[in-house]
Chain A
Amino acid sequence: MNDAFDIRSSELHIEVHKFRAGAIVLAAAFALVLQAFLPIYFPKAGILDLPLLITIYFGLSRRNPSTGLLLGMTIGILQDSLSGPTVPLGLYGIAKTVIGYLASSIGARLDTEHPAARFALTIAFYAVHQGIVALTQRVLLSQPERWFTLHLGAAALVNAFVAVFLFMLLDRLRKPS
């Protein structure tokens, strides 16, 4: 397989990016560790959902729905595992599986390299992610989770803002085309 190739050569020239060996694993592990580690010392950092940002980024970049959803599932279940006994395995797993699939599918159709597009997509994915989490909690866990709060809106904006810069950093892990 080439490092980068056109998937819609007749219409848009959207590249499927390859990453350095172990980059995805390391990035995902780093995001999970930071997600568990940062809020201890910086409670405000709890507003970030770094595993979600990693899922979105690699989904948009790899542009393969199957690998995107499997990556989302893996990251989500690991996040569930690190979240303690109150979060059952699969709560974030389901949400991030869907986000991985959606990001890969959208990434295969749109140019997601522009920071504005990444900002907007992150907000949208964050909303979808929270919607799936709330739906799962309401239906399966019988927990009255609210669909939307100002805090969630602010969190979406913050994550989108962080995503713009995080994605730029992660771009450096790509193999040169």
Chain B
Amino acid sequence: MVGIPSRHRSLFLLGGVVLLQVLLLAVQIKRDSQGRLIRVWTVGAVSPFERVGAHGISDIREIWDHYFALQNTSRENEELKHENDALKLQITQLQGKAAEADRLAALLKFRQTNVNVPMVSARVIGGSADSASQTIYLDRGERDGIRRNMGVITPDGVVGKIIESYRDTSQVLLLTDKDSGVGAMLVDSRIQSPVGGTGDPLLVMKYIPNDDAVNSGERVVTSGMDRIFPRDLPVGVIADIKPGNPFKQIHVRPAANLQRLEEVFVLLSLKPLETKQDSVAPNADGPAAAPTASTEKPGSSEKP
């Protein structure tokens, strides 16, 4: 043996022979869970190098990709930005469609729970040309059975009434218009009084004497006395109350979102509507609308 001192040759031979026999044993011995011992040893001896090599290659590749191979990064970045913008737009569109689907589902549910009330759904296609009047245009008109003075509602509450009906469109006077009004009553006390617009977002409940107890936050519903809207449709909620002379100054926040209307229902009847409370006003959780003696003050019908 070259390079090994003669006095150590036998020692090296001993080591080699013993190692050889240990390997021979390892080939024969079979561990229950891990297979043959030689395989266990081999895997155990090789895997650290493989692990180090794999990590090394991964690190080198990462360094290369992140610091050297950047010639296409700018272009890819631009592409990703464009793709990101397109996806954002798509998300916005989808969110709009989802919101529309929710609204339509609510309309459908409202329609299904009021099958005995003749009504037609319509889409808002335009608004008032001037800021002095609160009106909107619908995509349905006389051909769909819509006539003047028909009520317009949403599942949330009263919207207004038809003031003009054309062949395929119609114009709605919103509840917030200063010329608008609806027969209403307080849910808790059953006090009846017309509610009208002032041109502001809030409505005004008129003719409530200072002696009558009215609470802020109390709900206001239709009384049915205007012969346009069925009884117990939500009109709004008392926003604030101030003493006046001779009547209280009561502001009502509309139940329907009149600032953002997209779909509405038009009540297709000019006759007085008699509907059950639970079917007409699914959102109204107030007491049952027991027939009460009319306490509506003069002038409770809507203004012309």
Do A and B associate with each other? yes
Bound-state CA distance A90–B18 (Å) is 9
Question: Which secondary structure characterizes the binding site on chain A?
Answer: helix
- Is B303 part of the binding interface, using a Cβ–Cβ cutoff of 8 Å? no
The answer to whether A94 and B22 touch across the interface, beta carbons within 8 angstroms, is yes
Bound: A98/B18 CA distance, A: 8
Instruction: State in angstroms the CA–CA spacing of A3 and B11 once bound together.
Output: 25
* Contact among A70, A89, A142 for B24, CB-based, below 8 A: A89
Write out the residue numbers on chain B whose beta carbons fall within 8 Å of the beta carbon of A90: 21-22, 24-25, 28
- Is residue B69 contacting chain A, with contact meaning CB distance below 8 A? no
- A65–B37 CB distance below 8 A: no
- Residues in B5-60 with C-beta less than 8 Å from chain A: 9-11, 13-14, 17-18, 21-22, 24-26, 28-29, 31, 37
For B29, give its contact among A94, A98, A105, A141 (CB under 8 Å): A141
Which residue of chain B lies nearest to A91 when distances are taken between CB atoms in the complex?
B25
B side interface size, CB within 8 A:
16
Knowing A88-B28, A89-B28, A140-B26 touch, does A94 contact B13 (C-beta < 8 A)? no
In angstroms, Cα B14 to Cα A105, docked, is 12
**A101–B14 contact, CB under 8 A?**
yes
Which residues of B have CB within 8 Å of A66?
A: 9-10, 13
Interface of B is mostly: helix
Alpha-carbon separation in the docked complex, A4 to B160 (Å)? 133
Count, A-B residue pairs, CB within 8 A? 57
- Mark A88-124 against chain B: 1 for CB-CB distance below 8 A, else 0: 1111011001100100110000000000000000000
A66 to B17 alpha-carbon distance, docked (Å)? 10
A101 and B21 contact, Cβ closer than 8 Å, known pairs A89-B28, A140-B37, A141-B29 = no
A140–B28 Cα distance when bound, in Å, is 10
On whether the beta carbons of B17 and A97 are closer than 8 Å, the reply is yes
Residue A140 contacts which of B10, B11, B18, B29 (CB distance < 8 angstroms)? B29
Indicate if the CB atoms of A97 and B21 lie closer than 8 Å: yes
Q: Which of B10, B14, B18 has the most CB of A within 10 A?
A: B14
- Among residues 77 to 94 in chain A, which have CB atoms less than 8 Å away from a CB atom of chain B? 77, 88-91, 93-94
- Alpha-carbon gap, A94 to B29, bound state (A): 15
Shortest Cβ-Cβ A-B pairs, 6 listed: A65-B10, A90-B21, A90-B25, A88-B28, A90-B24, A66-B10
Show the binding face of B for A, using Cβ within 8 Å.
9-11, 13-14, 17-18, 21-22, 24-26, 28-29, 31, 37
A–B Cβ pairs within 8 angstroms, 6 of them: A65-B13, A69-B13, A70-B17, A88-B25, A98-B14, A141-B25
